Amino acid sequence: MAWKLLETASSQEAAPHALHIGQRVYLVLEEGPKERLAIVPVVDELVEAPLAALARIDVGSWGVKLMALDSGVHVKPKDHLLIPYPGPFPVEVYDLKPASDGPSEVIFLRDHDVILLSKTATTITLVWDSSEIQVNSSITGDEIPEFNDVQAREESAETEDEDEDLNRTATAIAVRQSNSTPVPSVSREVVQETPTAERVNQLTEFSIPVGHQKDTVDNTPPPEETFVPSLDAPEAFSTAPTKPVDNTTEEVEETVVEKSAVLAPVDDSTPVSSDSQSNPAPENQRSTRKAHPFVLIPPRSSLKRPSPIPEDDSDGARKSAPKRKKRMTLHVREETTPKATRGSQGSGIEDGLYKGPKPLVALSNSGIPTTGSLVKFLKKHGGNLVDPVKGEACNILCVRDGTIKKSMKLLLCVALGIPIVTEDWLMQSAQEARFLDVSLFKPKAPTQELEWNFSLASIWNKKTEVFTGHSIYFTPALKVTYKPFSEVEELCKAAGATRIFSKPAKEAKEKETADTIILALGEEDEDAATLMQDGHVCYTRDFLTLSILRGEISLDSDEFQIKPTVANPPKKKGRPRKS
């Protein structure tokens, strides 16, 4: 069994061109005295398309798909061959949009679909050669010619309707049981996936039955009950290679259980095939079983991007559905809310949504890549990713949950009262296709909070000006450890400090050190030793960071005070008393 392309010109007969699984061919318009359409196969998919290529055809275990590389590529459905009279719906030709730098449009072709090209009179017809289809059974049936097969399908519409289910994505093939095998009490359905099968579009509320179709399918669910695949489930239009079907009862039951997540329940009143009856079926009914099987493809909207939230679906179906390995990249759900109802992000009509200006997000100790789907979502919805945290350049800081670092970005956001959220805020906002409330994603660092004696929840989104009314002096030895020191100056000013300066202790005047918080490198700092000899109190560098995290300062506490050495006791100020 194989696909074939029939190339038909206006004055020539059809010339077959066989296709193979994994093959890629191009429809190329060859220039010359007489323009001729050529079918050019390629071996390596990485080879670029020919310049004169009009379309590209890919063949795989999932079927045959067509991509337009130039304008004027149309697809004519095969149904016009089966309708002997003009029905209420005219045969429409689908115009396939050419591929561009952005998303490309492809269409899966069915048996006897015709490819029309505006630049040439030659047409291409896709034909499925089912002469080699074999179904394992206890008896063999007689092969019938192709034209008898079409006639038999038209005459036995009722039998064909019994095998057709418009809500299934797998192929249903009726297998004739042996006369020696007892007929089961409950009707079973043998499922076999076929990569090259005829496709039947899902019925909509505007569909009208065709004249030769007498019955309708009762077990077709309404549109709101349609199964929506999850992120982990395989794509609905993909089918696996053909598997042989045995006649043993145990294997039949296993096949039915494995496909229970995909197939809709079968009504007991509707027989799976005509062979379930004791009487032998006529020859024309047996021929319908050898006709092309049907693959049911969901609507285009469900194929484009699956929804992460299944609606009205049974738990059993979701649990038994086959799962594939999760991808590392995040799949962003497509927006379903109309633009008119969303408005600006600051409206805050719904609970749990972001309320505020456009998010300007900075990252600190975060694993979010600066170029990826999350950043694209952020920019698409009016936000942006920023690096410096200065003034109004940033209004949200994103950190990793569970642990924090005393970085300048974190300390500056705490001092300025900028909300700090975890990475889940951006990830879940991307999944919901809208910004969520930042207060629901407060970070927690229990180890650091216990070690540093502070609480993130108590200082979250609160401006802390703990150094109001104080000047801060840095010894030269401590200043060189900050690179750049300008960020430390900006941090101190954001926390309310009136003046930040650094100079050798010998050059510092007495009035400059009054009401000044002196920060030094440690006991080995020479400037700190000089200042402590003059009676000043010096603090370690942790006094600056932890005072901002705690939201308060304690100058009398000896937690951060540098103790003077015994050899250099502090000098007492003032004149000595007379004896």
End-to-end C-alpha distance for the chain, whole angstroms: 120
- The 10 Å Cβ neighbour count of residue 521 is 21
- Assign 358 a pLDDT band (cuts: 50, 70, 90): very high
The CATH topology of domain 2-129 is Tumour Suppressor Smad4 (2.60.200)
Torsion of CA 481, 487, 493, 499, to 10 degrees: 50
Residues 423 and 375: beta-carbon distance below 8 Å: no
Torsion of CA 46, 48, 50, 51, to 10 degrees: 170
| Selected residue with higher pLDDT from 558 and 231 | 558
Query: Rounded to whole angstroms, how far apart are CA atoms 158 and 293?
Result: 16
Query: Rounded to whole angstroms, how far apart are CA atoms 211 and 221?
Result: 23
Residues 516 and 470: beta-carbon distance below 8 Å: yes
| Selected residue with higher pLDDT from 430 and 260 | 430
Query: Rounded to whole angstroms, how far apart are CA atoms 516 and 514?
Result: 5
Query: Rounded to whole angstroms, how far apart are CA atoms 256 and 168?
Result: 13
- Token pair 């394992």 in the structure block, residue: 136
Asked whether residue 187 carries a pLDDT value surpassing 60, the answer given is no
429-460: pLDDT as tens digits: 999 999 999 999 999 999 999 999 999 999 99
Both structure tokens of 492: 């101190």
Q: What is the DSSP letter of 25?
A: E
| Selected residue with higher pLDDT from 567 and 255 | 567
Q: What is the percent of the chain where pLDDT is above 70?
A: 54
> 133: closest CA among 20, 289, 255?
289
What is the CA 76 to chain-centroid distance, rounded?
Answer: 33
| Selected residue with higher pLDDT from 312 and 557 | 557
Of 53-67, 160-174, 373-387, least confident by mean pLDDT is 160-174
94 strand-pairing partners: 75
Sheet holding 499-501, edge to edge: 499-501, 471-474, 516-519, 538-539
468-497: pLDDT as tens digits: 999 999 999 999 999 899 999 999 999 999
89-147: pLDDT as tens digits: 455 788 888 877 667 788 888 888 888 888 887 888 888 887 654 445 444 445 445 44
* CA-to-CA dists, residue 314 to 78, 236, 317, angstroms: 36, 17, 5
Query: Rounded to whole angstroms, how far apart are CA atoms 173 and 140?
Result: 15
| Selected residue with higher pLDDT from 546 and 171 | 546
Average confidence (pLDDT) over 282-299? 49
Q: Strands, E, within 350-431: which ranges?
A: 360-364, 384-385, 396-399, 420-422
SS (H, E, C) 449-507: HHHHCCCHHHHCCCCCCCCCCCEEEECHHHHCCCCCHHHHHHHHHHCCCCEEECCCCCC
Q: Which pTM value belongs to this model?
A: 0.41
Both structure tokens of 340: 């008119």
Asked whether residue 423 carries a pLDDT value surpassing 60, the answer given is yes
> 73: closest CA among 44, 21, 116, 135?
116
Average confidence (pLDDT) over 136-165? 46
Pick the CATH number of 339-459 from 3.40.50.10190, 3.40.50.300, 3.30.420.10, 3.30.1490.100: 3.40.50.10190
- Assign 511 a pLDDT band (cuts: 50, 70, 90): confident
